[in-house]
Chains A and B, each alone.
Chain A
């Protein structure tokens, strides 16, 4: 399209919208010369441009309208009829503009009808005006007149003309400070800035790894500038919500005429800004709601007077910011919703049964008006009551991540409250992991996060094969994101449960890990992927990779409806809650006695079967050639004779390149069970007893055997020679982990004090016991690892003590959070070599620093 023509169309469209608003204002306030001048100027500009572009039809029409308005300016009384005529002229102009936009040329046509009426009205008015003395307006020109009185208008105009002009000039000057930029340009700019942000993040990550880099300071500046730039570009996309309201005064005016009602439209907070994309999307729902208020809400003038209300009804439109949202309220002072009629209608249309409704509150019943196919208007009017609308309003608003709510008081009116995000472009999202892939879940849908299994108080249970989670007094239906996405079978018992609100229902999505939250820039889904209901878009993460954004509604659909009903029926009481302990995979075996023994599976490096003939004896110790090394073999129970034939199963434990083999008679099973360990077996090498699969089982202390195998174990590992940190405080709420890790750290040559909570750890510091290093679990009740780390730093005696965190999940985000909290290092919970290495490294560093 011709550039000039396109500019003309945009500009004229905007001007006309303003004329609409101004005219309605003018009709109510015909003495306001400022408004009139404004309208006149707008129409005049349109006329001028039309002439310039050779748009003859438009030019003729605008000319006729301008002439009539010129008469008003010269003092002709303003009548409702005249305003209606000008409004219909503007409608015609809009029609021609639409055609111009599609066909790029004016459609042929003759507007003689309108032009005739316009000039007739202008001429009729022309004669009487000069003679007009305080007399009434001539009936011929303005039969339905007349709120206006010509003479005062005249004087008013003269009076207000002078002060008005400078204001107009100011506006003109202001206009020259703004330029028109195409939305494409802005969108491209936005993309470029997003790219810049990503690059910045990458650079920051690199610099983080090199402590004393020269880049640090300039990069910090770059970082700040980037943030400002991002904010600035976001701002260019913001528009006042008033832009979406512009057509409303006109609509309400037309409705008044059509319905024979008297309605005033008040608008507050029109300057509230929101992203233009959101603005476009709320325009229609807003219009619909205002129509609805005018049609259903406000009573006829007679009814209002009868009810003791002012004759004229009011629709109040307001907007304001609240957090990251914008709240729009549409309130009328009409009759309010008729709850009994909605109830009847709900039953009649089969939306609900009598019994269902009995237990519902009035507010719940009112919400039925958002149900598809619902309308209480007794008569179908052209404005509303066609049974399409409110459901569409709600779904449109929900589509952009908003909510719509209503409250109503009989006789006093109805208020709709719409809450929508400021921008669709950027939302806060929770990044989760399922089957090794990352996904973003919009934060707005997430109610809470619960860790299931793995030591928390929550456990995934099953009712008729439906996984559920007991959460407070409710059973929450669960689904495994991994399975919803067809990424394979899920680990049924452990994971993180993302509790989501989907419409009116709450469900839990089980994921393998929760990584962090991130402000994400939403990019639309490819048209080839849009059919996949569980995703709503894609986004680029800080590290540059693309991930899918989960649509909670789509996920909700994956949950069978039958299941929901079943779930909702089951309410639990607090007393039924079951204390659940940590689940651990255990390797159960027999060695020596018949009593089963077990060792935590993650500690075992490998299971092997060796040929008994390969076992050698040297210095009274049993050895076997294993992977190019001589590996010592140990028996758990004393020194009974070894088998001399056949094969011998062994459990191989490796640590720091050294391995030992534990000789066992038979490997029985691998059991995943929660472990209630009775600590204190009395015997060395036994941590304690636990009931595993109904049998009392000895839990073997691997830490006991490691030093046995290597006499030099302590010498080899003892870092104390250098006078380095030696006293380690181990903090873990799980006795199992305490008992497993303490011997390990001991075996590496440190003194270990193990405590069960952050509070105990702080007490240990305060009691004055020298502590050189802290190893702490992150997830603990009451005071978690982060809080502990911060608390330790405020204890003077603990200044500079290195802290190592044990985490079940190590993500970049936790590491980052940990660094700020004061952790010196992070180790995964089962990474024993990693833990020992970290202890070594940190104590060596502490020594250097000292």
Chain B
């Protein structure tokens, strides 16, 4: 009972064969991106902009953002809608999984050998059965401009 209080729900998804989790309160909605408009001169991490019920959503290609190779299975990506600084973003990922309830106590800091590309945006990991769930730090994922400058 005591442990229950310290659980967090994560929306899980995979992209480039890696499992990720986002705290459920960060996630506004999950949608199939359609009519994505390319933005000329934008970096590779910007997939484009789209209209989601009257809001303009900036779609972030998470694979490009993380320098992960896209699994070319031709399946259309899914988008996870998040909000930051009053703006709407959509993280394009390969597939959205289930919602997992995980005990905060089991969240571990990034293992030293974690892929550097993942470590940059990770807020810790969970060791699940046979795979590693990387908890995404939304702010760091969206911190696109600064990193480019650095």
A interface residues, Cβ below 8 angstroms from B: 191-192, 194-195, 198, 437, 485-487, 523, 526-529, 531-532, 534-535, 538, 540, 544-548
- The answer to whether A529 and B42 have CB atoms under 8 Å apart is yes
Contact with A along B137-148 (1 / 0, CB 8 A): 000001011000
Check B49 for interface membership: any CB of A closer than 8 A: yes
* Beta-carbon contacts under 8 Å, B35-68 to A: 35, 37-42, 46, 49-51, 53-56, 58, 60
C-alpha gap A205/B53 in the complex (Å): 19
- The answer to whether B35 and A545 have CB atoms under 8 Å apart is yes
- The answer to whether A528 and B145 have CB atoms under 8 Å apart is yes
- The answer to whether B54 and A194 have CB atoms under 8 Å apart is yes
C-alpha gap A486/B40 in the complex (Å): 7
Check B87 for interface membership: any CB of A closer than 8 A: yes
C-alpha gap A538/B59 in the complex (Å): 14
- The answer to whether A195 and B37 have CB atoms under 8 Å apart is no
By Cβ-Cβ distance, the 10 closest A-B pairs, closest first, are A485-B40, A195-B54, A526-B58, A546-B37, A546-B49, A546-B51, A532-B41, A523-B56, A545-B35, A540-B51
- The answer to whether B54 and A526 have CB atoms under 8 Å apart is no
- The answer to whether B53 and A546 have CB atoms under 8 Å apart is no
Give the residues in chain B near A487, CB-CB below 8 Å.
Answer: 40
C-alpha gap A194/B56 in the complex (Å): 12
Contact with A along B23-40 (1 / 0, CB 8 A): 000000000000101111
- The answer to whether A526 and B40 have CB atoms under 8 Å apart is no
Give the residues in chain A near B145, CB-CB below 8 Å.
Answer: 527-528, 531
Check B105 for interface membership: any CB of A closer than 8 A: no
Check B85 for interface membership: any CB of A closer than 8 A: yes
C-alpha gap A532/B53 in the complex (Å): 25
- The answer to whether A529 and B58 have CB atoms under 8 Å apart is yes
- The answer to whether A191 and B40 have CB atoms under 8 Å apart is no
- The answer to whether B56 and A437 have CB atoms under 8 Å apart is no
Partner of A529, one of B46, B50, B53, B54: B46
Number of interface residues of B (CB under 8 A): 23
Beyond the given A195-B53, A528-B58, please list 9 additional residue pairs across the A-B interface where CB-CB is below 8 A. Answer: A198-B54, A523-B56, A527-B85, A527-B145, A529-B58, A531-B145, A532-B40, A535-B39, A540-B51
Give the residues in chain A near B50, CB-CB below 8 Å.
Answer: 546
Give the residues in chain A near B42, CB-CB below 8 Å.
Answer: 528-529, 532
- The answer to whether A538 and B49 have CB atoms under 8 Å apart is yes
Give the residues in chain B near A531, CB-CB below 8 Å.
Answer: 145
Give the residues in chain B near A538, CB-CB below 8 Å.
Answer: 49, 56
C-alpha gap A191/B53 in the complex (Å): 9
Quick one: which of A194, A437, A546 has the most chain B CB within 10 A?
A546
- The answer to whether B41 and A486 have CB atoms under 8 Å apart is yes
C-alpha gap A546/B56 in the complex (Å): 7
Give the residues in chain A near B87, CB-CB below 8 Å.
Answer: 526-527
- The answer to whether B37 and A540 have CB atoms under 8 Å apart is no
Give the residues in chain B near A198, CB-CB below 8 Å.
Answer: 54
C-alpha gap A544/B87 in the complex (Å): 19
Least distance between B32 CB and chain A CB atoms (Å): 15
- The answer to whether A540 and B40 have CB atoms under 8 Å apart is no
C-alpha gap A771/B104 in the complex (Å): 83
- The answer to whether A546 and B41 have CB atoms under 8 Å apart is no
- The answer to whether A547 and B37 have CB atoms under 8 Å apart is yes
Report the nearest A residue to B36, measured CB to CB. Answer: A546
Partner of B41, one of A194, A485, A526, A528: A485
Report the nearest B residue to A195, measured CB to CB. Answer: B54
- The answer to whether B54 and A437 have CB atoms under 8 Å apart is no
Give the residues in chain B near A546, CB-CB below 8 Å.
Answer: 35, 37, 49-51, 56
C-alpha gap A527/B35 in the complex (Å): 21
- The answer to whether B51 and A532 have CB atoms under 8 Å apart is no
Least distance between B57 CB and chain A CB atoms (Å): 9
Least distance between B68 CB and chain A CB atoms (Å): 19
- The answer to whether B51 and A526 have CB atoms under 8 Å apart is no
Q: What are 29 pairs between A and B in contact, CB < 8 Å? A: A191-B54, A192-B54, A195-B53, A195-B54, A437-B38, A437-B40, A485-B40, A485-B41, A486-B40, A486-B41, A523-B56, A526-B49, A526-B87, A526-B89, A528-B42, A528-B60, A528-B89, A529-B42, A529-B58, A532-B39, A532-B40, A532-B42, A535-B39, A540-B56, A544-B35, A545-B37, A546-B56, A548-B39, A548-B49
Give the residues in chain B near A540, CB-CB below 8 Å.
Answer: 51, 54, 56
- The answer to whether B55 and A191 have CB atoms under 8 Å apart is yes
- The answer to whether A534 and B41 have CB atoms under 8 Å apart is yes
C-alpha gap A532/B35 in the complex (Å): 21
C-alpha gap A527/B145 in the complex (Å): 9
C-alpha gap A437/B35 in the complex (Å): 12
Quick one: which of A195, A526, A532 has the most chain B CB within 10 A?
A526
Least distance between A194 CB and chain B CB atoms (Å): 6
C-alpha gap A544/B38 in the complex (Å): 15
C-alpha gap A528/B84 in the complex (Å): 11
Give the residues in chain B near A528, CB-CB below 8 Å.
Answer: 42, 46, 58, 60, 89, 142, 144-145
Contact with A along B96-116 (1 / 0, CB 8 A): 000000000000000000000
Give the residues in chain A near B35, CB-CB below 8 Å.
Answer: 544-546
Give the residues in chain A near B55, CB-CB below 8 Å.
Answer: 191
C-alpha gap A485/B50 in the complex (Å): 19
C-alpha gap A485/B51 in the complex (Å): 21
Give the residues in chain A near B40, CB-CB below 8 Å.
Answer: 437, 485-487, 532, 534, 548
C-alpha gap A486/B55 in the complex (Å): 27
Report the nearest B residue to A547, measured CB to CB. Answer: B37
Give the residues in chain A near B85, CB-CB below 8 Å.
Answer: 527
- The answer to whether A529 and B39 have CB atoms under 8 Å apart is yes
Give the residues in chain B near A545, CB-CB below 8 Å.
Answer: 35, 37, 51
C-alpha gap A545/B46 in the complex (Å): 17
Least distance between B104 CB and chain A CB atoms (Å): 30
Report the nearest A residue to B144, measured CB to CB. Answer: A528
Give the residues in chain B near A523, CB-CB below 8 Å.
Answer: 56
Least distance between A544 CB and chain B CB atoms (Å): 6
Known: A526-B87, A532-B39. A544 touches B51 (CB 8 A): yes
C-alpha gap A486/B41 in the complex (Å): 7
